[in-house]
C-alpha cells in the first residue's frame, strides 16, 4: 500500500555558519542557524518520509535539546528515517523536494544533493527530485533572512503495516 508524507522546514540565515543544503556545502556569506547542521532540505525530506509511515516529525527522534545532535550532519537523520521504513518492511519509492531561497542560487548543486540524499535513503539519484525557487523578494525569504524547504515522500508499506507507527 502506497503512503505519502509531506515535510517542511525553515531556518534563519546567520553569519558565521556554513550553508549546508542536501548535504552539500554551498559557498555563501551566511549559513543556516540550528542545533544540527540546520540542513533544511534534509530535514524536510526526513519529515516527509517519517510522515509517510505515520510517525511524528524529526524532533521525536532527534530533539534539538539533546547535545548529541549539536552540529550533527543531517544525513544521520535521513538514515534513521530510512531505517524506520525498513523496520516496517517498507520501501521508499521516491522523494521530491523544493528549496525556497532568494540567494544563493542552489540549482548548480542539485546533482550532488541528489547523490547525497539518495545515498542516505538507500535510493538511486533518479528517485530524488530537487527543485528550487525564489520568493520573488517577498517576506523573510525574499529579504534573505532564511531558507525553507518542502518535500513529499512516497513509501510502499505492506498491507499489515497500514495504520501502525
Residue 88: pLDDT band by 50, 70, 90 thresholds?
very high
Say if residue 23's pLDDT is above 70. Answer: yes
At 82, list the grid cell: 530510512
For residues 7 and 51, the answer to whether their CB atoms sit within 8 Å is yes
Give 90-148 pLDDT, tens digit per residue. Answer: 999 999 999 999 999 999 999 999 999 999 999 999 999 999 999 999 999 999 999 99
Using alpha carbons, select from 55, 60, 62, 56 the residue that is nearest to residue 39: 62
What does residue 85 show for φ and ψ, rounded to 5 degrees?
Answer: -65, -45
* CATH class of the domain at 2-161: alpha beta
* Cα dihedral: 3, 109, 64, 141 (round 10): -90
The domain spans of the chain are 2-161
Amino acid at each position: 500500500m502506497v503512503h505519502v508524507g509531506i515535510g517542511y522546514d525553515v531556518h534563519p540565515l546567520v553569519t558565521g555558519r556554513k550553508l549546508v543544503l542536501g548535504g552539500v556545502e554551498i559557498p555563501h556569506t551566511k549559513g543556516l542557524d540550528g542545533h544540527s547542521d540546520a540542513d533544511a532540505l534534509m530535514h524536510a525530506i526526513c519529515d516527509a518520509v517519517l510522515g509517510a509511515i505515520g510517525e511524528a516529525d524529526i524532533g521525536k527522534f532527534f530533539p534539538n535539546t539533546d547535545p548529541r545532535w549539536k552540529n550533527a550532519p543531517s544525513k544521520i537523520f535521513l538514515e534513521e528515517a530510512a531505517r524506520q521504513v525498513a523496520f516496517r518492511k517498507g520501501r521508499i519509492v521516491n522523494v521530491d523536494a523544493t528549496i525556497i531561497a532568494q540567494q544563493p542560487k542552489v540549482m548548480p548543486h542539485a546533482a550532488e544533493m541528489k547523490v547525497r540524499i539518495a545515498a542516505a535513503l538507500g535510493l538511486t539519484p533518479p528517485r530524488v527530485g530537487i527543485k528550487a525557487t525564489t520568493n520573488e523578494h517577498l517576506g523573510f525569504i525574499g529579504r534573505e533572512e532564511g531558507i525553507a524547504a518542502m518535500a513529499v515522500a512516497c513509501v510502499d508499506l505492506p498491507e499489515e503495516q497500514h495504520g501502525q507507527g
